Amino acid sequence: MSRNVSPLFAVLIGATTFQFAAAVPHYDIRDLTPDGYTVSQAYDINSSGDAVGVAGTFANGPLEEAYFFYDHSAGTSTAFGVGTVSPREVTGFRSAAINDSGQIAGTAVFSDSSDRRGFVYSGGTSGAFTNLGTLPAATPSGNRPTSEAIDLNASGIATGYATSGRNNGDNRDAFVSTSNPIVDIDGDLTVATRDDRGRAINNAGLVVGSNEDTKATLFSGPTETVLLASTAYASEPSFAADLNESGQVVGWTDTTKEAFLYDSSGSVKILPQMGTGNGMSAKAINENGDIVGDGDSGRTGSARGYVYLADDATSYILEDHILDKTVPAVADLGDWGEIRVAWGINDDGWIVGLGRRQFTGNSFPTDRAYLLIPSTAPGDFDIDGDIDANDFLTWQRDDGTARGLATWQSNYGYGVSSTVVSTAVSTTVPEPTSCLLCLVVIGNWPVRRK
C-alpha cells in the first residue's frame, strides 16, 4: 500500500523550527528462564533470535545446574544436557555461544569425568555433545587435562583455551577445533610461559582474546597482533572479547576500565561512557558495529548493562529504555529492576544478558535471563520502523489524542534519513496546539491507497 500526501502537509509543519529527536532505542523485554528454574543468565543470540544460557534453582545460588536453549519461533526455553553435563562458568566472559545453525559451544564437566571440557553441541533440546577433549602434551608424558570452549563460528569451529596441567594456574594455549583432539592455534606446545586465551572466532577463522602478556590480541594462525600496542593503554592488561566479520574487535582495558573498538585499519576508539559512571567493558559486537557490555553507570548497586549504537555513537543504559518492566508476568516475581549485563547482540539489535527481578514479599532479587527486542518507537503509528508523515495520517485515523500528536511531533524523523525528510517536507514543526488547529484542513487531505 502506498500513500500520496498532499503538499498541504507543509501547513502542519511550518510554524516553528524542529530539531530531530535522537533516535533513542526502545525495547520490549522477555524472561528466558526455563520452567522449573528460578535463576538464569543468557549469553548469546543468533540471527533467528534463538539464545543459549545457563539456569539454576537457588534464588541466591549458582547458575550452573543446566544449560538452556531458547527457541524464539516457539517462544520457549528448555534445559538440555541434564544428567550428561554440568555447566562451568568462564568468569568475566560469556560461558556459551550459539551460531546461526543452532550449534552451541560451552564448557562443562561431563558425567564420566571430573575435569572441565570444552564441547560443541549439535543444537536444539535433544542434540548430541562433542567433547573436545584436550590438547596433546608438549612431551609424551601425558595430555593437558582441561579445556574451555567460549565461542564458535558458522562452520562449527570452536575456540577457547586449554591448560597445561591439572592446576588452574598452569599455562594455557588458545585452540581452534571442531572435534577431539583440539588443535593449538599456533602449533606451539613447547613455550613454557605460554598463556594465550581465545575468546571469540569469526567465519574467516580469526580469533581474538589475550596473549601470554595479558594483552588484547588478534590471532591469525601463528601470527599475533597486539591491538592496543600503539595506544596510551599499551602497558596495562587488556582483553578482547568479540569480533565481527568486518574485523572489528571489542574488549576493555583492565586498569583504566575503558571499553574499546578496534577496526581492521588498526584504529582504536574508546566508547563513550554511559551515565555518570567511570568504566565499562565491551562484551559483544554485531555486523552493524553495535556493541553491548556492562560497566559503572554512576548509580548505586551493581554494574549496569548498556548498548552502544554505531548510528549515533552513544552508549545507552539499557534499563532506562525498556517500555514495560512489568512483563512478562511470572508467579511470585515482581517487575524488572537492574539490567546488570548485556552479553550478546544479533544483527537485528536483539540483546540477551542478565537482569534482576524481585521476589514478591522478599527483600532479595533473583537473577534472570532476559531478551530485549527493539520496539517500535513511540509515534510510529503505522509500525513501519520510522516516524514520518504517514504516521500522522494513522494517528489522525486511529488515535486522535493531543498526547499522541505530541509524541509523534517529538519523535518525528526517527528512522528517516535527514535527506529524505528535508526533501519531503520542511524541518519545522509547530507546537501541538498549532497542529490541532490544522485538523479541519488536514481532515480533507487526499489519501490514495493501492
C-alpha closest to that of 36 among 64, 56, 52: 56
Q: What are phi and psi of 107, to 5 degrees?
A: -130, 135
User: CA-CA distance, 254 to 262, in Å (whole number)?
Assistant: 16
Model confidence at 143, pLDDT cuts 50, 70, 90, reads low
Q: Is the pLDDT of residue 427 over 80?
A: no
Q: Is the pLDDT of residue 420 over 60?
A: no
User: CA-CA distance, 382 to 390, in Å (whole number)?
Assistant: 7
pTM for this structure? 0.79
Model confidence at 409, pLDDT cuts 50, 70, 90, reads confident
Q: Per-residue pLDDT tens for 350-368? A: 999 999 998 776 667 889 9
Most confident range (mean pLDDT) of 14-28, 109-123, 432-446 is 109-123
Superfamily of domain 27-374, CATH level 4:
TolB, C-terminal domain (2.120.10.30)
Please say whether the beta carbons of 88 and 107 come within 8 A.
yes
Q: Is the pLDDT of residue 151 over 90?
A: yes
Helices (H) and strands (E) in the chain, counts: 6, 29
Most confident range (mean pLDDT) of 24-33, 264-273, 430-439 is 264-273
Q: Per-residue pLDDT tens for 313-330? A: 999 999 999 988 887 778
Model confidence at 294, pLDDT cuts 50, 70, 90, reads very high
Residue 426: burial class (beta carbons within 10 Å; 0-12, 13-18, 19+): middle
Output 168 or 179, whichever has higher pLDDT: 179
Average of per-residue pLDDT values in the chain: 82
The pLDDT assigned to 18 comes to 37
Average pLDDT over residues 13-28: 55
Most confident range (mean pLDDT) of 1-10, 193-202, 284-293 is 284-293
The pLDDT assigned to 270 comes to 98
Does an H or E element contain 403, and which?
helix 402-411
Helix (H, G, I), strand (E, B) or coil at 421: helix
Please say whether the beta carbons of 387 and 412 come within 8 A.
yes
User: CA-CA distance, 153 to 221, in Å (whole number)?
Assistant: 16
For the chain, domain boundaries: 9-21+381-442, 27-374
Model confidence at 375, pLDDT cuts 50, 70, 90, reads confident
Q: Per-residue pLDDT tens for 206-264? A: 999 999 899 999 999 889 999 999 999 999 999 999 999 999 999 999 999 999 999 99
Please say whether the beta carbons of 175 and 164 come within 8 A.
no
- Mean pLDDT check: name the lowest of 20-34, 109-123, 214-228, 265-279: 20-34
